[in-house]
Amino acid sequence: MRPSTVRRAAAALAVTALTLTALPAKADPVKPPRLSAAAITSALNEDVSIPGTTWMTRPDGTVEVSYDSTVTGSKLTSLTGVTKKLGEGVVLTKLPGKLTTRISGGSAIYGGNVKCSAGFNVSRRGIYYLLTAGHCGAEAATWYNNSAKTSRLGSRHHFSFPGNDYSLIVYRTDIPRPGGSVNLYNGRSQDISRAVNPNLGKYVYRAGGTTGLQHGTVTGLNVTVNYPEGRVTGMIRSSVCSEPGDSGGPLFYRQYAYGLLSGGSGDCSSGGVSYFQPVVEALTRYGVAVY
């Protein structure tokens, strides 16, 4: 090759190298900002009403969306389609069994065709009432102490369900003053003197007519639950198990009242998740107090 040809080839290579060097580096794709828990919850409230689903905000700011065994096929596709659009701020988990209210099975109080559990005894201006689950109160106007319905307990004064899940039963005026304690199902009882909202991680007990005394911890606050009957909000989630007939039963620790059993999934043999109506909200709504 002649010297002039070599010089031209070298110059061409230099121009090519300069051109390649001058090309801008390809930028990494920019991730969209993570949505806030409030924005995610708002979207879920708007776009998801599938029975068997729940959601709550975790301490780390992510939103945990849970679904039960009935959410399959097109329902699951619809749910995951929404959660994927909401980005990495959503964590999807599966619940054990089927999410239901707990109004059937053995229990302490009976009304209509259902059986539930007594919650907390409360009072207002010398009148005594019983707090229980709203979905129980929705089923019957008159409540009894026994399954034969020969011993009348009282009458439904008010109920709220869905949306909330609490009900107020007014005791008969001719019965003795009801006690302010909770049955521990071991021959003893626990006096209840205060109602407060629990913190995450709080150790708690639940009493119910079907499964007696059970324990666990609070695992979520301000939880949204979609039952087949409708949505309830502001619930307490716990690791305490429950079964049909336990509805309305009290969530407590020592002298502190926390909530009323609303529903759950799983059972007390294999384990499960339960949801509770905060009792402070119900007390405020009805203007009553534990004693």
Tokens of 109: 């109080």
158 is catalytic: no
Residue-wise pLDDT tens digits, 64-104:
999 999 999 999 999 999 999 999 999 999 999 999 886 43
| Helix or strand run (H / E) with residue 137 | helix 134-137
Whether the Cβ atoms of residue 215 and residue 204 lie closer than 8 Å to each other? yes
Catalytic residue among 165, 238, 262, 265: 165
pLDDT of residue 12: 47
Catalytic residue among 68, 107, 135, 265: 135
Q: What does the angle CA 278 – CA 284 – CA 289 come to, to the nearest 5 degrees?
A: 90
135 is catalytic: yes
Catalytic residue among 117, 167, 238, 247: 247
Q: Which domain holds residue 253?
A: 100-290
Residue-wise pLDDT tens digits, 106-141:
348 999 999 999 999 999 999 999 999 999 999 999
247 is catalytic: yes
What's the number of domains the chain is made of?
2
Question: Beta-carbon neighbour count of residue 23 at 10 Å?
Answer: 7
In a shared domain, residues 104 and 79? no
In a shared domain, residues 188 and 240? yes
Q: Please identify, among 94, 117, 133, the residue that sits at the C-terminal boundary of a domain.
A: 94
pLDDT of residue 9: 47
pTM of the complete model: 0.82
